Amino acid sequence: MDTEAQHTERGRSSASGTEGPGAEEGSRSARIPGVAPTGLSLRRAGLLGVGCGVFLLLLSHFVVQPFLIPSTSMEPALEVGDRVLVNKLAYRFGSEPRRGDVVVFDGTGSFVREAPEGNAVAGLVQGAAAALGLAEPDETDFVKRVVGVGGDRVVCCDKEGRLEVNGVQVEERYVHFGDAPSRVPFDIVVPEGTLFVLGDHRSASRDSRDHLGEPGGGMVPLDKVVGRADWIGWPAGRWSALERTAAFDRVPGPGGPHG
């Protein structure tokens, strides 16, 4: 028997395994394509975070924007702390807001005379946070329900204490329980290219009624509409779509048989 050959084979085996099982496993990992020896570097993680932030800001600017509800003016449909998702494409391709739509708009020139001045950097940060639904919206941004479009005659209240649009009584089931349609009487014709908007919690809402005697009459120009609030995205227990009301289905267009 060739004992020398056996010793030689043992020597080769022991030499190849002198570094232990851990070294062998590391060697295998290094040889497997696509397996990184370490996790994401801080630089790559930072770039990924910045990229995600930029993507969300672009999505918010052009498609869907989260909007934090800051007040009780739209109860019961929307509660303080809700994040609604505003569909910014709803009126981009020729469509216009309809009666009953819940819209977010810039109230500069209609609800607010001038945008408040402030620190530019702080304003930029706050604006970015608001665009992601992480902070309250700008003081010039509002959410209300459309009750009159261009050419409509909107009256409140009729003999039965109801809102009337183009001569037709509107059954506003979305109004906060116990609220009257309006404690402020009005009879207005909505100028073309504008909207007349009210909050659902009428006794807690500052809306078009409060600006009737001011320049612009509290009417919201169409080009100031940010989009339509279509969904409640947060908190999780309130995930739902905002259902379109049928309250205005019987209302004819401006100049119709009841106008």
Lowest mean pLDDT, pick from 26-40, 104-118, 165-179, 209-223: 26-40
Whether 25 has a pLDDT exceeding 50, the answer reads no
Among the ranges given (106-115, 128-137, 154-163, 208-217), the one the predictor scored with the smallest mean pLDDT: 128-137
What pLDDT, in 10s, does the model give residues 45-63? 776 666 665 655 555 555 7
**Distance in angstroms (rounded) separating the CA atoms of residues 186 and 86:** 30
Tell me how far CA of residue 78 lies from CA of 84, 115, 116, 192, in angstroms.
8, 25, 26, 29
Q: Name residue, tokens 């006794």.
A: 203
At how many degrees (to 10) do helices 42-62 and 120-131 cross? Answer: 80
Q: Is the pLDDT of residue 115 over 70?
A: no
pLDDT of residue 62: 56
Return d(Cα 92, Cα 90) in angstroms, integer: 6
pTM of the model: 0.72
pLDDT for residue 189: 96
Q: Supply the residues annotated as catalytic.
A: 73, 144
Per DSSP, the three-state class of 6 is helix
- Does residue 31 carry a pLDDT above 70? no
